[in-house]
Amino acid sequence: MAAAGVALGLRCIDDERIPRVAVVSAAFFVASLIHVPIGPSSAHLVLNGLTGAVLGWAAFPAMLVALLLQAVFFGFGGLTTLGVNVTAMAAPALLAHYAARPLVRSRSPGVAAAGGALAGGLGIAAGAGIVAGALILAGEEFANVAKLVLLAHAPIAAVEAAITAAVVVFLKRVKPEVLAAVGRNRPEEATDA
Protein backbone atom coordinates (compact mmCIF):
# COMPACT_ATOMS: atom_id res chain seq x y z
CA MET A 1 0.00 0.00 0.00
CA ALA A 2 2.80 2.40 0.86
CA ALA A 3 4.59 1.77 -2.44
CA ALA A 4 1.40 2.36 -4.43
CA GLY A 5 0.64 5.54 -2.48
CA VAL A 6 4.17 6.87 -2.99
CA ALA A 7 4.02 6.09 -6.72
CA LEU A 8 0.69 7.91 -7.07
CA GLY A 9 1.94 10.77 -4.91
CA LEU A 10 5.06 11.24 -7.01
CA ARG A 11 2.87 11.71 -10.08
CA CYS A 12 1.29 14.72 -8.33
CA ILE A 13 4.54 16.54 -7.68
CA ASP A 14 5.72 18.91 -10.37
CA ASP A 15 8.71 21.25 -10.16
CA GLU A 16 6.56 24.03 -8.73
CA ARG A 17 5.34 21.89 -5.80
CA ILE A 18 8.70 20.42 -4.72
CA PRO A 19 9.49 23.22 -2.21
CA ARG A 20 6.03 22.93 -0.62
CA VAL A 21 6.35 19.16 -0.29
CA ALA A 22 9.85 19.56 1.19
CA VAL A 23 8.74 22.14 3.78
CA VAL A 24 5.74 20.08 4.87
CA SER A 25 7.89 16.93 5.03
CA ALA A 26 10.41 18.78 7.22
CA ALA A 27 7.63 20.03 9.53
CA PHE A 28 6.30 16.48 9.84
CA PHE A 29 9.85 15.23 10.55
CA VAL A 30 10.48 17.78 13.31
CA ALA A 31 7.02 17.62 14.92
CA SER A 32 7.12 13.86 15.23
CA LEU A 33 10.53 13.96 16.94
CA ILE A 34 9.06 15.64 20.03
CA HIS A 35 8.00 12.73 22.25
CA VAL A 36 5.89 13.10 25.41
CA PRO A 37 6.06 10.12 27.81
CA ILE A 38 2.67 8.51 28.54
CA GLY A 39 2.87 5.49 30.82
CA PRO A 40 5.00 2.73 29.28
CA SER A 41 4.93 4.42 25.88
CA SER A 42 5.21 7.91 24.45
CA ALA A 43 3.16 10.10 22.16
CA HIS A 44 4.15 12.75 19.68
CA LEU A 45 2.66 15.24 17.29
CA VAL A 46 2.25 13.95 13.75
CA LEU A 47 0.64 16.75 11.70
CA ASN A 48 -0.59 14.21 9.15
CA GLY A 49 -3.97 15.94 8.91
CA LEU A 50 -2.27 19.22 8.02
CA THR A 51 0.05 17.38 5.65
CA GLY A 52 -2.93 15.86 3.88
CA ALA A 53 -4.83 19.15 3.72
CA VAL A 54 -1.86 20.91 2.11
CA LEU A 55 -0.37 18.14 -0.06
CA GLY A 56 -3.10 15.64 -0.93
CA TRP A 57 -1.56 12.56 -2.58
CA ALA A 58 1.92 14.08 -2.27
CA ALA A 59 1.68 13.31 1.47
CA PHE A 60 2.84 9.75 0.72
CA PRO A 61 6.30 10.63 -0.66
CA ALA A 62 6.66 13.48 1.86
CA MET A 63 6.07 11.14 4.76
CA LEU A 64 8.23 8.40 3.25
CA VAL A 65 11.21 10.77 3.18
CA ALA A 66 10.61 12.01 6.74
CA LEU A 67 10.09 8.52 8.19
CA LEU A 68 13.08 7.11 6.30
CA LEU A 69 15.33 9.87 7.69
CA GLN A 70 13.99 9.27 11.21
CA ALA A 71 14.70 5.55 10.89
CA VAL A 72 18.23 6.08 9.54
CA PHE A 73 19.32 8.95 11.81
CA PHE A 74 17.50 8.16 15.06
CA GLY A 75 16.35 4.54 14.81
CA PHE A 76 12.69 5.55 15.15
CA GLY A 77 10.32 3.06 13.59
CA GLY A 78 13.01 1.13 11.77
CA LEU A 79 13.46 0.19 8.15
CA THR A 80 11.57 -3.11 8.38
CA THR A 81 8.38 -1.33 9.43
CA LEU A 82 8.73 1.62 7.07
CA GLY A 83 5.87 0.50 4.82
CA VAL A 84 3.46 0.09 7.72
CA ASN A 85 4.51 3.42 9.22
CA VAL A 86 4.11 5.28 5.93
CA THR A 87 0.67 3.73 5.43
CA ALA A 88 -0.36 4.48 9.03
CA MET A 89 0.58 8.15 8.60
CA ALA A 90 -0.11 8.92 4.94
CA ALA A 91 -3.38 7.06 4.38
CA PRO A 92 -5.08 9.08 7.17
CA ALA A 93 -3.49 12.22 5.70
CA LEU A 94 -5.16 11.45 2.39
CA LEU A 95 -8.45 10.74 4.17
CA ALA A 96 -8.15 14.09 5.96
CA HIS A 97 -7.43 15.75 2.61
CA TYR A 98 -10.64 14.53 1.02
CA ALA A 99 -12.77 14.98 4.16
CA ALA A 100 -11.62 18.47 5.13
CA ARG A 101 -10.42 20.09 1.93
CA PRO A 102 -13.77 21.69 0.99
CA LEU A 103 -13.99 23.26 4.46
CA VAL A 104 -10.34 24.32 4.52
CA ARG A 105 -10.76 26.09 1.17
CA SER A 106 -13.75 28.09 2.45
CA ARG A 107 -13.50 31.88 2.52
CA SER A 108 -14.90 31.91 6.04
CA PRO A 109 -12.13 31.69 8.67
CA GLY A 110 -14.47 29.85 11.03
CA VAL A 111 -15.35 27.20 8.47
CA ALA A 112 -11.68 26.87 7.45
CA ALA A 113 -10.71 26.45 11.12
CA ALA A 114 -13.36 23.74 11.50
CA GLY A 115 -11.92 22.02 8.43
CA GLY A 116 -8.45 22.24 9.94
CA ALA A 117 -9.70 20.78 13.21
CA LEU A 118 -11.41 17.97 11.31
CA ALA A 119 -8.23 17.23 9.33
CA GLY A 120 -6.02 17.25 12.42
CA GLY A 121 -8.28 15.11 14.58
CA LEU A 122 -9.19 12.70 11.80
CA GLY A 123 -5.56 12.23 10.77
CA ILE A 124 -4.56 11.15 14.27
CA ALA A 125 -7.65 9.05 14.98
CA ALA A 126 -7.40 7.15 11.69
CA GLY A 127 -3.64 6.68 12.12
CA ALA A 128 -4.13 5.28 15.63
CA GLY A 129 -6.81 2.97 14.23
CA ILE A 130 -4.45 1.65 11.56
CA VAL A 131 -1.66 1.08 14.10
CA ALA A 132 -4.07 -0.66 16.49
CA GLY A 133 -5.35 -2.83 13.64
CA ALA A 134 -1.79 -3.78 12.65
CA LEU A 135 -1.02 -4.72 16.25
CA ILE A 136 -4.12 -6.88 16.52
CA LEU A 137 -3.25 -8.60 13.23
CA ALA A 138 0.23 -9.29 14.63
CA GLY A 139 -1.27 -11.44 17.39
CA GLU A 140 -3.75 -11.62 20.24
CA GLU A 141 -1.01 -10.74 22.73
CA PHE A 142 -0.95 -7.23 21.26
CA ALA A 143 -4.67 -6.54 21.86
CA ASN A 144 -4.03 -4.65 25.11
CA VAL A 145 -1.30 -2.59 23.47
CA ALA A 146 -3.69 -1.77 20.63
CA LYS A 147 -6.24 -0.48 23.15
CA LEU A 148 -3.52 1.60 24.82
CA VAL A 149 -2.53 3.09 21.44
CA LEU A 150 -6.13 4.18 20.81
CA LEU A 151 -6.50 5.58 24.34
CA ALA A 152 -3.16 7.42 24.28
CA HIS A 153 -3.96 9.08 20.96
CA ALA A 154 -7.32 10.53 22.02
CA PRO A 155 -5.75 13.61 23.69
CA ILE A 156 -3.24 13.90 20.85
CA ALA A 157 -6.12 14.04 18.36
CA ALA A 158 -7.60 16.96 20.29
CA VAL A 159 -4.26 18.79 20.41
CA GLU A 160 -3.61 18.17 16.71
CA ALA A 161 -7.12 19.38 15.87
CA ALA A 162 -6.43 22.67 17.68
CA ILE A 163 -2.95 23.07 16.16
CA THR A 164 -4.12 22.28 12.64
CA ALA A 165 -7.07 24.67 12.96
CA ALA A 166 -4.71 27.44 14.09
CA VAL A 167 -2.25 26.75 11.26
CA VAL A 168 -5.05 26.74 8.68
CA VAL A 169 -6.35 30.11 9.92
CA PHE A 170 -2.80 31.49 9.89
CA LEU A 171 -2.15 30.22 6.36
CA LYS A 172 -5.49 31.64 5.18
CA ARG A 173 -4.32 35.03 6.42
CA VAL A 174 -0.71 35.10 5.21
CA LYS A 175 -0.43 32.59 2.33
CA PRO A 176 -3.90 31.48 1.19
CA GLU A 177 -2.62 29.95 -2.04
CA VAL A 178 -1.11 27.11 0.01
CA LEU A 179 -4.63 25.96 0.86
CA ALA A 180 -6.23 26.87 -2.47
CA ALA A 181 -6.72 24.46 -5.33
CA VAL A 182 -3.23 25.15 -6.71
CA GLY A 183 -1.31 22.32 -8.33
CA ARG A 184 -2.37 18.74 -8.78
CA ASN A 185 -3.71 16.87 -5.79
CA ARG A 186 -5.01 13.77 -7.56
CA PRO A 187 -2.93 11.37 -9.64
CA GLU A 188 -5.53 11.36 -12.40
CA GLU A 189 -4.82 15.08 -12.91
CA ALA A 190 -1.16 14.42 -13.63
CA THR A 191 0.01 14.60 -17.20
CA ASP A 192 3.19 13.53 -18.92
CA ALA A 193 4.06 17.13 -19.82
pTM: 0.84
- Give 37-71 pLDDT, tens digit per residue: 766 666 778 899 999 999 999 999 999 999 999 99
Pairwise CA distance, residues 149 & 77, whole Å: 15
Output the pLDDT for position 181. 46
pLDDT, block means (10 residues), the chain with 193 residues: 93 89 91 74 81 93 94 85 90 95 91 96 94 89 88 89 95 87 49 42
What secondary structure does DSSP assign to the chain, as a single string?
Answer: -HHHHHHHHHHT--TTTHHHHHHHHHHHHHHTT-EEEETTEEEE---HHHHHHHHGGGHHHHHHHHHHHHHHHH-SS-STTHHHHHHHHHHHHHHHHHHHHHHHT-SSHHHHHHHHHHHHHHHHHHHHHHHHHHHHHH-GGGHHHHHHHHHHHHHHHHHHHHHHHHHHHHHHHH-GGGTSS-S--SGGG----
Number of neighbouring beta carbons within 10 Å of residue 138: 13
Domain ranges of the chain: 2-180
Architecture of the 2-180 domain? Orthogonal Bundle (1.10)
pLDDT tens for 17-38 read 899 999 999 998 998 888 777 6
pLDDT of residue 117: 97
pLDDT for 186: 56
Q: Quick one: pLDDT at residue 179? A: 83
